[in-house]
Structure 1
Amino acid sequence: MTLWPDFQTATTMPTTESAKLGRKLSLVIMTSVLVVFAVIFGLLGSFVLWTADEVDEDALDRQSRRVAYFVRGQLDAIPYDQQSITIWDDMLVALRDNDERWLHINVGKWTFDYFGHDESYILAGDQPVYASVGGEDTDPDTYERRRDQTLGLVEQLRGLTSAGYVDVPPFTSDFVLIDGKPAIISVSPIVSDTGNIQQQAGREPLLVSVVHLDSDYELRLIQRYQLEAGHFTSRPGGTALGTLPVTNRAGRIVTFYEWQPYRPGETLMQRTTPALAGAFIIILIVVIALLAVLWRSSSALESKSAEAERQASIDLLTGLPNRLNFDRQFEHRLSVLALRDPPLALMMLDLDRFKQVNDTLGHHAGDELIRAVGERLAGILGPTDVLARLGGDEFAILHICHAGSVEVSALAQRIVDAIARPFRVQGTDAFVGVSIGIVITGAGILDSRELSRKADIALYEAKSGGRNRAAIYEQSMDELVQGRHVIEAELREALRAPGQLWVAFQPLCGRDDGQIIGAEALLRWTHPTLGVVAPLQFIAIAESTGLIEQLGEFVLRRAAQFGARWPHRTIAVNISPAQLRNPTFPERVFAILDETGMEPSDLEMEITEGILLDDESTVARAIHKFRQAGISIALDDFGTGYSSLNYLKRYPVDRIKIDRSFVSQLTNADGTEAIIQAMVTLAHALGIEVTAEGVETEVQYRILAAKGCNTFQGYLFSPPLTVGDMTALLTGAQTEVPEVA
């Protein structure tokens, strides 16, 4: 008897036995698959639970950072509230005259009702001269109960103001305990907003504000910043609550802010557990059905996926790594960056004036130019650098900085110089520039998105600073960006809510008799909380965000309404580049003139030479239409650009305005008089009138009049006026003009 059949017997085994073996093998495979699937699903469930916990922890961390940002930011926010009344000549006059009613309305009641400041004190020297509690005036000696808590802040502020400051005066603020309860004390100097009132540095009157961190303050904080609902407490609660220790500037805990944290992971688990159980059953059936199909197709899919991934990582136009590839390499370099390794620089590049080349020569020329830029950049970089095209006219570079910021700055300058050289594209020379934003990082900083954001901020700084340059990220840039976002949001609201934006008119006076021949319309913004926002703070933001056209039309309409009431006087309006580039702008201007009844010959449009440089054809057509309608054209800020003389011959200009920077330097022995004389002589030779702006002294006026300036504008004659004040001045129609020696 043999244990094993011979080969012939084995090959003639009945079919039923083979089928049984096949079924057993299938059962083994299926059982194995099901066991593996069960293990995987168990691990997946554990992973989901762990992920939910991690999500909750991350959410709590984000909430904590958000709460910390806004709570601790109150040390700057409350002094910012104070500035609405502390930088004010009227405040100093009221203190000098002991005008108690004025102080009650503008200090005690205003700060309590509008800002929620519970207590306000004014110190002259070290003595209280005014006190208000809960919006009601009280005996100034009430301050004595707060002297101990404020003494250090007052002395610190005295030291800061004694050392001098530029523009915005310093302040001191801190978290304190008053009667065992938390509060914020802020001390700000009371100074002149015009500089006309002389004050001894370090001896200015002081405004002391006390804000109690009570339930009213908590409610204001929650409503104002959409903060997580919570409360201040001296003793933190259980671990289920979010808790932020609030420390003073010395690092001591003054109070705690507690809130009920939002837990998205826990909520998600409660909602998805039933669905996951049903999904397990469905997926189990699908897995069994697709197991064979997936096995056959996996090999083909794997090969296709590898090829698709290769193509997806390369920019087809330049052959450089694309954004996806670059992001992967960036993440990898950050992950392997050791503590003693040299820092890594991320450089974001954006071509300047590429759109003009693309629009003028066509998209094929634009593609050729992009390829040429990539080749030129590759020729500058070293073997360890990573160069990628992110899309459009944007490139990115990873560079190891062995010598830190000095080295990367030198590399950036070489790139700027190289790109500035002409490119030969389709038989013609094309000129572009490049703006570069740089951020430098070391080991331990692994957030590539945050680094990219900072590089973009630096790139924005490079572009706003004049383009064709590089800028390295600094923390102050981030703060400026946040400030721009605030201004942009408030400006959009101001355009929707009437009353904040208004137009002032500054008279334009003749040379000899002081006759007011017209006025310039100037946009002004009075914000309900920010106060007076200077044009320098919001005009550039309006231009970069596309709001400038709405603002320009607002000013033009107000100017036309005013000009219609005072015919035969020139009303000048500043025109932005965005308005002139809009093909429909002339029709909008003519519609406003028809609507208001203003004569076109009374309107003067002030443009800058930079507008003419940006887009000659579009601007030329618009200027031609305006000239045909009788509208005058003035070239503003004349002499500050490099192309002024060329454009005086090319474009029909009725007037040039000598920039105030020249006028302010007239008394300096630096050749300014000769420059102004050359401007006037050139303009008169071309039949163009000359206006001097920014005239503030009689000496300046006499020199400018002697040089032949036709008209004048400045504080010597009148500051910008409201419509009512300008109307009253026009009724007299003449201002006093100094005699010309």
Structure 2
Amino acid sequence: MRRRERRSGWQFSFQVLIPVIVAVVVTAGTAAGFVLWSAAKSDDRALQRQTRLVEHILKQEWDDIASAEQDATGWDEAVTALREGDLDWIDENLGQGIYTTHAPNRIYVLDHALKPIYALRDGGKAPLDTFEADRASVVAVVDALRGVDGDAAIDSYNNGFADGTIPGSTDLGRIEGRPALISAVPVLSWSDAFDVHPSEAFYHVSARFLDRTLAEELMGQYLIDGARFDIAPTPGAAEAVVALDNKAGEPVAWFKWQPDRPGTLLLAETAPAMGIAVLVAGLVIAILMRSLRRSSAALEAERARAEHQALHDPLTGLANRAMFQQRLTQALERLSPGSDPVALLALDLDRFKQVNDTLGHEAGDELLRQVSGRIKALLSDDDTLARLGGDEFVILQAAIKTVNESRRLSEQIISRVSEPYKLAGADVRIGVSIGVALARDAAGDGLDLPARADFALYQAKESGRNQVKLYDELAKERNEAAA
């Protein structure tokens, strides 16, 4: 009897227990291998997404300093102060005023011969001879605004063919051996009161160090762990790195950070479950698959959020320039002979700068949000409203029957935007100028559509603002005048 029991026990071991153990070991090994592979892939995908996000953030910093330079120097008063040598006004507005808003580490104002007439270092007015230590890096950036190309850009702005954007030059360089983002713009007239000849232009230069202060700002704003700038390319332990090249393609600095590792975190969290999997394979596999599904959903949601941020304006939630360009390309690709035309409306707010200057940037941001809401309420589901930057908006009507649809929409927008706003306890009124252009043939006029809309917008602003101009009508008038 005992021998039979022992034989039965061995049979059970060989026929049931051992196969179960093998199955558990194989299942656990397969699950462990799958989890390790999934964790590595998740880390790789997270690193790729964060790398794209970091590149986008750094480009945004580049664009912000250039935009700040353009916003600060397009004053008639600045041209007058520079010509009259009013150093007190220059210090208050082109020096301390810009430092208070954007906190660049260096500010210089140079005359047309690139001699300094004003210097600000870390918020304090500095002797002019301090410029000599920074001259090589600064002049390399300013030189891009001089010569034939630079003179042509300034003349284009003076003649009203630059979409109201002051030409500028931005590049990475080294100041006192430290990497810095350097931006320069000529000081030009915002209105037609002055026509600054290229040979007489003054230049405003700002430099922002790529240092711990900026890295900490990025960490706080974008939740990037361990962010730092370095002049050495080799990353530290578990760090990711992105090279920051100047326009000549030469690395000036490297941005390093501790990337998110959702896969590694997931593996650590599921390690106890993997231990149980050796004993209870089925239960552990079920728990693991459910956990993986949740992790996959979280990663997908994170990717969707990153894509949304890449295609939408963070202030208004509208489409940004990238999404607008996608929609415009798609609309033009659908154009064919006999199909409905595509309309592009270029909008520019009138008197927005005065509101921004008098009530502050927070009121200006709130005004942009309210304007966006008013315009969006007037559009159909097929229309695309995008903010290109500042107070510039565009509307893409992918399929309309006649230009009168765009004209009626423009008149509704002008009426609605002109209604008063309540900002900072004050009643504020602004206007909007609109230029409209139609494309009926992608090959014939599709590529020129944005330029035509901008031209019509320029004419609307030149004709008194707060009105709409149609490119087709302007072209007809011009042809009749030439005949």
TM (normalized to structure 2)? 0.58
On the 8 A contact 2:72/2:98 being kept in 1, the answer is no
AA at the equivalent of 1:458:
T
Distance 1:572 1:184 in 2: 35
Of residues 201, 204, 210, the one that matches 2:201 is: 204
Q: Kindly indicate whether the alpha-carbon contact (under 8 Å) linking 1:116 and 1:217 is maintained by their aligned counterparts in 2.
A: no
Instruction: Say whether the 8 Å CA contact 1:117–1:211 is kept in structure 2.
Output: yes
Q: Tell me which residue corresponds to 2:178.
A: 181
Higher RCO (CA-CA < 8 Å; seq separation 6+): 2
Q: CA deviation at 1:117?
A: 0.8
1:568-607 matches, within 5 Å, as none
Match of residue 252 from structure 1:
250
Cα pair distance change 1:227/1:169, threshold 3 Å: farther
Residue type of the partner of 1:234?
I
Q: Report the equivalent of 2:419.
A: 555
Indicate the residue corresponding to 2:303 in structure 1.
none
1:51 aligns with 2:49: no
Does 2:139 align with 1:151?
yes
Map Cα deviations across residues 490-538 of structure 1 (whole Å, 9 max, x no partner). xxxx9x96565679xxxxxxxxxxxxxxxxxx99xxxxxx9x944x526
Equivalent in the alignment of 1:115: 102
- After superposition, where does 1:381-530 map in structure 2 within 5 Å? 458-459=329-330, 468=340
CA distance in 2, matches of 1:533, 1:145: 34
Of the candidates 54, 69, 75, which is equivalent to residue 67 of structure 1?
54
AA of the residue aligned to 1:170: P
Partner Cα distance (1:216, 1:468) in 2: 53
1:221-370 pair list within 5 angstroms: 221-235=218-232, 236-279=234-277, 281-284=279-282
Contact (CA 8 Å) 2:75, 2:189: kept in 1 or not?
A: yes
Give structure 1 stretches of 5+ with no counterpart.
Answer: 1-19, 288-449, 472-476, 481-493, 504-521, 524-529, 564-570, 575-607, 609-639, 641-656, 673-741
Partner residue, 2:152: 163
Show CA shifts across 1:34-55 (max 9, x none).
5345313212202211221232
1:270 is displaced (CA, Å) by 1.3
Deviation (angstroms), 1:658: 10
**Paired residues of 1:174 and 1:184 also in contact (CA < 8 A):** yes
Q: Which secondary structure does the structure 2 equivalent of 1:193 belong to?
A: coil
- Shift in Å, 1:30: 7.5
Amino acid at match of 2:39: A
Partner deviation per Cα, 1:335-373 (whole Å, 9 max, x = no partner): xxxxxxxxxxxxxxxxxxxxxxxxxxxxxxxxxxxxxxx
**Aligned equivalent of 1:400:** none
Cα 1:185/1:275, change in 2 over 3 Å: same
In 2, the alpha carbon distance for the partners of 1:81 and 1:89 equals 17
Change (3 A) 1:89 1:286: closer
**Alpha-carbon distance in structure 1 between the residues aligned to 2:260 and 2:249:** 28
Give the partner amino acid of 2:41: E
- Counterpart Cα distance in 2 of 1:460 and 1:226: 37
After superposition, the C-alpha distances for 1:108-129 in whole angstroms (9 at most, x for unaligned) are: 1122221121111111112222
Shift in CA distance, 46/217, structure 1 to aligned 2, threshold 3 Å: same
- Residue 106 of structure 1 is matched in structure 2 by 93
**Gaps in structure 2 of 5+ consecutive residues:** 1-6, 157-161, 286-321, 347-358, 369-373, 376-386, 398-405, 407-411, 437-455, 457-465
RMSD: 5.2
CA separation of 1:69/1:161 partners in 2, compared to 1, >3 Å: closer, same or farther? same
Could you say if the C-alpha distance between residues 35 and 161 of structure 1 is closer, same or farther in structure 2, counting changes exceeding 3 Å? same
Structure exhibiting the larger radius of gyration computed from Cα positions: 1
Cα deviation for residue 92 of structure 1 reads: 0.8
Preserved CA contact (<8 Å) 2:168 2:186: yes
1:159-214 CA-partner distances (Å, limit 9, x unpaired): 33212342323322222222222222211111111133112236421111121222
The separation in 1 between residues aligned to 2:478 and 2:362, in whole angstroms, is 49
Note the C-alpha offset of 1:72.
4.5
Q: 1:127-178 deviations in whole A, cap 9, x for unaligned?
A: 2222222222233333222212222222221133212342323322222222
Paired residue for 1:137, among 112, 125, 137? 125
Contact 2:69 2:185 in 1 (8 A): yes
Does the residue aligned with 2:88 lie in a helix, a strand or coil?
Answer: helix
Matches within 5 A, 1:540-689: 552=416, 555=419
What's the TM-score, normalizing by structure 1?
A: 0.39
Q: Retained in 1: the 8 A contact 2:134–2:176?
A: no
Q: Taking structure 1 as reference, are residues 229 and 469 closer, same or farther at Cα in structure 2, changes over 3 Å only? A: farther
For residues 133 and 498 of structure 1, do their structure 2 counterparts lie closer, same or farther at Cα, with a shift above 3 Å needed?
Answer: closer
State the shift of 1:459 in Å: 3.3
**Structure 2 counterpart of 1:90, from 77, 80, 83:** 77
* Secondary structure of 1:191 counterpart: coil
SS of equivalent to 2:50: helix
1:670 offset after TM fit, Å? 5.1
Give the secondary structure class of the aligned counterpart of 2:172. strand
Distance 1:238 1:270, change over 3 A: same
Contact 1:104 1:136 (C-alpha < 8 Å) held by counterparts: no
Distance 1:68 1:213 in 2: 14
Identity value in percent: 24
Distance 1:78 1:456 in 2: 28
- 1:218 Cα deviation from its structure 2 partner: 2.2
2:463 is aligned to none
Task: Check the 8 A contact 1:72/1:246 in 2, yes or no.
Answer: no
CA distance in 1, matches of 2:134, 2:236: 34
- 187 and 453 in structure 1: CA distance in 2 versus 1, 3 angstrom threshold: closer
Q: Is structure 2 residue 207 aligned with structure 1 residue 214?
A: no
SS at match of 1:199: coil
Q: Which amino acid aligns with 1:52?
A: A
Task: Report the CA distance shift for 1:454/1:54 in structure 2 as closer, same or farther (over 3 A).
Answer: farther
